[in-house]
Amino acid sequence: MTVKKTAVKKAKKVAKSQASISKINNVPAESDIQVLAVCSTESVSGSSTLKYQIGTDANSDIHFRVISSSGSGYVNPIWYSLNEILTILEAHPGNSPFTSLLISSRLKIEGRSNNNVGFLVAVLLQEKILVPFEGEEKFKWQFNSADEFLLRVEKLKSEKK
């Protein structure tokens, strides 16, 4: 009986925390997003499998969120705006590689797990928005394009209608 009460209290605390973070940082609440797809990919390190969602809000803006990891890393399932991510990536010089620090330093959203930026990079690699840098440096990326992904999302939207 105690375990159930504790689990319910913890779930309510997490939901309240996520709602306050959403309000503070203009991140859409879970109820404001229509999930188009649930996908999985390997983490960047290859040590776990990540499950993530692709969704759209009322303005048809696209969002991602990582919802689970098979590893021990904590996942904070808050939505990330594709528009915000693309703004960061498109501002970076095209031929120069970058690390996940580029994204984490510019998202500037408090309350997210340190793991989430690495997990987000894994999602962006899976969706071919990012590609590995072809140099000798490990964990360096380059912006590829969102065109193929956007076509996929349009197909997912039409399937949901």
pTM comes to 0.79
On the question of pLDDT at 55 being above 70, the answer is yes
Q: Where are the domains of the chain?
A: 2-160
* β-bridge mates for residue 149, sequence order: none
Q: Which long-range contacts (CB under 8 A, 24 or more apart) does 42-47 make?
A: 42/122, 43/69, 43/71, 43/73, 43/118, 43/119, 43/122, 44/100, 44/118, 44/121, 44/122, 44/125, 44/139, 45/118, 47/71
Q: Assign 107 a pLDDT band (cuts: 50, 70, 90).
A: confident
Task: Give whichever of 13-27, 36-50, 94-108 has the largest mean pLDDT.
Answer: 36-50
The predicted structure's pLDDT at residue 27? 58
Quickly list H helices, 99-146: 100-107, 114-126
110-152 residue pLDDT tens: 555 678 888 999 999 999 999 999 876 778 999 999 999 999 9
Helix (H, G, I), strand (E, B) or coil at 96: coil
At residue 67, what are phi and psi to the nearest 5 degrees? -110, -15
- For residue 35, give Cα distances in angstroms to 53, 79, 94: 7, 11, 31
Q: Return the higher-pLDDT residue of 27 and 125.
A: 125
The predicted structure's pLDDT at residue 126? 97
As a whole number of angstroms, the distance between CA 12 and CA 17 comes to 8
Average pLDDT over residues 79-99: 91
Structure tokens at 78: 């808050």
